[in-house]
Amino acid sequence: MSPIKEIQSAGLKWQRVKKYILSEVAAGRYAPGDSLPSEKYLCEQIGVARNTVRQAFEELEREGYIYRVHGKGTFLSQTDRSKTPTKARIVGLVVPWIHGHLYPVLVRGFDDELSTRNYQTLICQTNNDVGKQGNIILQLLYGQVDSVAVVPPTTQDTPAFQIESLVKAGVPVVACHRPIPGVKIPTVTWNRENVGRLAGRLFLEKGHQHIGYFSTGRYMMTEAHIRGLRREVEAAGLELPESHIVTVQEARTPESTAETENLKKQKVMELLQSAGRPTAILCNDDLGAEVVCFVAQRMGLRVPEDLSVVGFGNSQRDTVFRQAITSVVVDEYQLGRTASHILSEIKAGKRPIDDNETIIFDVSMYPGSTVCEPSV
C-alpha cells in the first residue's frame, strides 16, 4: 500500500494530514527550516478540504513541529522532534512566592496559554531565595522540563550561570518582572519609574504638597518607584524627603511574619504622627496600601479626606479592597500569557533561544476611591 493510501485509510481527516506530514519529515524529505507543502497541494494529495489542512497545521504548530509566516508559508521548526528524545510536556514557572498580589494572576495567565498547547505548568516557589532558585533550576534541568519562565528573587541578582545552564542545554528561558543580568534571554516587564510618575502626577493634580512612599523592602523595583515619584514632585518645585520614605524588610520565615506585620504598622504610625506628615502616600503594592489604610483609620484619619493612598497591583481587581483602592496597575494575566507565548516561539524556531528582547507592558491608573484633595 502506498504512503498516501495508507494515510487515507484511517483516522480523522485532520489527523491524516498530520500523519502524512510527520511521515515525510521522518523519511528525511524535509530539514529544519524547509518550506512545507502548500495547503492546496495537501488538499489534492490527501483528498481533504482546506479547513482540514489548516486544523492539522494548527495542531502541529501547537506541538512545536512547524511554524507559519504570514505571506510566506509553513516551515519545519528548528527542533525536529521526530529525531530527538521527547521531553515531558511540562513547563516550569519559578516564582518568589505562590501567594501575593501579582503572582497568582501571572500563574493563571501563563497556565491558560500553555493549556492551549496541551502543556502543563510546574509551579516552583523559591521563597525569594537565590540559592533555592538554583536548586530548583538544577532539578528542572535534570527532569528534562520543556522550557522555563523565571521571576527572579528581589533579595539579590540571579547568578548568570543558573540560567546559562538551561540555555546551554537547549531549554528556552524567559524572565518575568525583572531582567537577569549577564544572560541573553527575553524579558517581559513594565516601566517601574512610570509607577511613581503616575502616582505623583495624580497627587499633584489633587493639590498634595506633602507626599510619602511606603514599601516592604528596598530593591530595584522600589528604587525605581521612588525615582519616578521624586522626579514628578521635584518638577513641581516640591521635595520627597528621605524621612517620608519608609521601608520594612519582608518576613523571611513564617515565624517572623507576625513580627514583620507589627513593624510595618509601627513604622506607618510613626510616619503619620511626624511633623509635616504626608497627606498622600504611594505604596509599592496593594498589600502595603492595605496596611497604610488600616493604620490611618485606626489613628482616626479619614481615607481619602485626611490621607490619600495609591497602591500598585494587577489590573484585575479581584477583592473588595482592591476594587476600592486607587492603584497603578499592570495586566499581569496578559504578561503571563505573553511569557508562555515567547517560550513557544523559541521552541518553534521563530525566535532564537538567546533573543535579548525586552517587552515592556504599559501601566495605567485604576481610579478607586482612596485619593482626593487634601482636607488641610
Count Cβ atoms below 10 Å from residue 245 Cβ, excluding itself: 20
Q: Quick check: 150 pLDDT over 70?
A: yes
Report the C-alpha gap between 341 and 137 in whole angstroms.
20
In this predicted model, what pLDDT tens digit does every residue of 95-110 receive, in sequence order?
998 887 789 999 999 9
Q: Which homologous superfamily does the CATH classification assign to the domain defined by 90-190+332-361?
A: Response regulator (3.40.50.2300)
pLDDT reading at 154 higher than 50: yes
- Contact by Cβ (8 Å): 217, 154: yes
Same topology between domain 3-76 and domain 90-190+332-361: no
- How confident is the prediction for the chain on average, in pLDDT? 88
How far is 89 from 121, CA to CA, in rounded Å?
9
The answer, yes or no, to whether residue 232 has pLDDT greater than 80, is yes
Nearest partner of 173 among 351, 376, 361, 363, judged by Cα: 351
Q: What is the pLDDT of residues 6-55, one digit of tens each?
A: 334 434 778 878 878 877 776 667 777 788 888 888 888 888 888 888 88
pLDDT-derived band at 216 (thresholds 50, 70, 90) equals confident
**Residue ranges covered by each domain of the chain:** 3-76, 90-190+332-361, 192-329
Which of the four CATH numbers 3.30.40.230, 3.90.1150.10, 3.10.129.10, 1.10.10.10 does domain 3-76 have? 1.10.10.10
Pairwise CA distance, residues 62 & 79, whole Å: 13
Q: Tell me the CATH number for domain 192-329.
A: 3.40.50.2300
Q: Which of 52-61, 198-207, 233-242, 288-297 has the lowest mean pLDDT?
A: 52-61
335 vs 333: CA distance, rounded Å: 5
Indicate the range of 126-130, 200-204, 301-305 predicted with least confidence: 126-130
The CA distance from 257 to 209, in Å, is 34
Confidence (pLDDT) at 83: 43
